[in-house]
Amino acid sequence: IPLSPEQHLLLVSLYESKLRTGRIEGNSVIASRFRWTNTKFNRKLDAICEKLNRAGVEGVKGTPGLNADGRRENLLNWALSNGVVTRNDLALVRAASSAADQRAADS
């Protein structure tokens, strides 16, 4: 399933958050690391979930009884079990966060 670089970064950020804190942090916390708006983060998350749902991946589309935390956990589990996200990708989060900080400092 093809993902844009930012969609891949979003998945890696879910993984990094889980490793660092023991849980996936809220969308606004993760979005702020890249200086993304909540809307941008949520649209990217929704687009990934929609792609996967169309491909037959269960538990990534909002349904009654499945809260946002469960959807993000299912999404992360899919990404890890399919090799879409690995420990080698974690450097992407640091690089993107640093780049966002630098852009903000240059503004």
- Choose among 7, 6, 17, 4: nearest CA to 99: 6
Predicted pLDDT at 70? 86
The tens-digit pLDDT sequence of the chain (107 residues) is 899 999 999 999 999 999 999 999 999 999 999 999 999 999 999 999 999 999 999 888 876 666 778 889 999 999 999 999 999 999 999 999 999 999 899 98
Global confidence as pTM = 0.91
